[in-house]
Structure 1
Amino acid sequence: MTEPFLGQISLFSFNFAPKGWAQCNGQLLPINQNQALFSLLGTIYGGNGTTNFALPDLRSRVPLHFNGNHPLGQRTGEEAHTLNVNEIPNHSHNAIGSSASADSPLSSGTLLGTTTAVNIYSDPSNLVAMSSSQIGSTGGSQPHNNIQPTLVLNFCIALVGIFPSPN
């Protein structure tokens, strides 16, 4: 392998960082021992900028080329997402009933509404509340997986190498 650029990120198929490289897992490095790399990265990925700086953290992340909407070092997206009411498409749940006679006796407490006959065209003061077991929210408010198909590899950054010059 030819000598990498200092700060170059490469993928490896094995589970360790080769000599002169570090895994991109967001660890803090001391500035006084890595001044050239600090001059390239600064505190874009974290650190206090006086005694330490952070390497990029690519664990559970997909790299994205920076642009005006996504500056260098920005973390965006989420692995799991819980939908809220505004994200659910408009839809309906139809109530289904039958006028056929039941072939088994009704158990206690299983009626939708009340056993009292109600004239549906009567004064609204005679309204009957629907059973709370028949209406209400649905879903468990649990996040769903939001990850695209992936192949896990080892991102590493060069701690030593040729200092890159701008084009």
Structure 2
Amino acid sequence: MDAFTGEIRLFPYNFVPQNWAYCDGSTITVQQNPALYSVIGTLYGGTPGQNFKLPNLNGRVAMGAGLAPGLTDRPVGTALGADRITMGPSNFAPHTHSVMVKDGSESGAALDIPNNTAFLAQPRNIRLYNNTAPTTTTQTLAATTVGIAGTGATSTALRNTMQPFQTLAYCICLDGEYPIRAS
């Protein structure tokens, strides 16, 4: 199967086939390859009329160009994204939590300090914990927006966002059949 000039393929080799080049962002002069320049121009960078860059797909995932319902338009040549980001509170959506509790009572032995067998008692007296399980019905507390809490320092370390991958070589055809534009 003959390739078109500018066609990009994945290869499983650790070398570049003849008439192909790695899609690694290399700069090529227009004089070196006027046919490829006439096909891709400076879509991936370069100086018009002097040089142009090959697409850089090292460490990137190719994505279909265009616009689809509910998506942002991505023209050919667009490069976005990062393999690592710094996460902070602004990365998390506001949300609420509901809490289910059982009313406690002070019918058992009252405690001043909780332990792993204590239950929250009714707040009528000073003692908040009880050593007998509550027997009353479950109550739902009102949901509230969760705020930032904690005593630890926030981390500014970069977090990896890469999906699992297997590497192959993206290569572009330098010299093939010239693609004729559809009318």
Regarding TM over 0.5, the answer is yes
Do 1:16 and 1:23's aligned partners in 2 also have CA atoms closer than 8 Å? no
1:4-153 aligned at under 5 Å gives the runs: 4-68=3-67, 69-89=73-93, 90=95, 99=113, 136=151, 138-153=153-168
- Structure 1's consecutive aligned runs of 4 or more residues displaced over 6 angstroms after TM superposition are none
Give the alignment's Cα RMSD to 1 decimal. Answer: 2.2
Summarize deviations over 1:38-84 as a string: whole Å, max 9, x none. 01111000111131100000001000111141111111111011113
Alpha-carbon shift at residue 137 of structure 1 (Å): 5.3
Summarize deviations over 1:105-124 as a string: whole Å, max 9, x none. xxxxxxxxxxxxxxxxxxxx
Aligned residues: 129
Aligned to 2:173: 158
Hey, what's the Cα distance between the residues in 1 that align with 2:4 and 2:92? 47
Give the secondary-structure state (helix, strand or coil) at the position aligned to 2:171. strand
Which one-letter code corresponds to 2:6 in the other structure? G
Which one-letter code corresponds to 1:158 in the other structure? C
User: Compared with structure 1, are the counterparts of its residues 137 and 85 closer, same or farther at alpha carbon in structure 2 (3 Å cutoff)?
Assistant: farther
Do 1:7 and 1:157's aligned partners in 2 also have CA atoms closer than 8 Å? yes
Structure with bigger helix share is: 1
Identical pairs, percent: 33
Give the secondary-structure state (helix, strand or coil) at the position aligned to 1:32. coil
Give the secondary-structure state (helix, strand or coil) at the position aligned to 2:170. strand
Instruction: Report the TM-score when normalising by structure 2.
Output: 0.64
Bigger relative contact order, structure 1 or 2, given CA contacts below 8 A and separation 6+?
Answer: 1
Hey, what's the Cα distance between the residues in 2 that align with 1:57 and 1:29? 13
Hey, what's the Cα distance between the residues in 2 that align with 1:61 and 1:38? 23
Structure with bigger strand share is: 2
Instruction: Report the TM-score when normalising by structure 1.
Output: 0.70
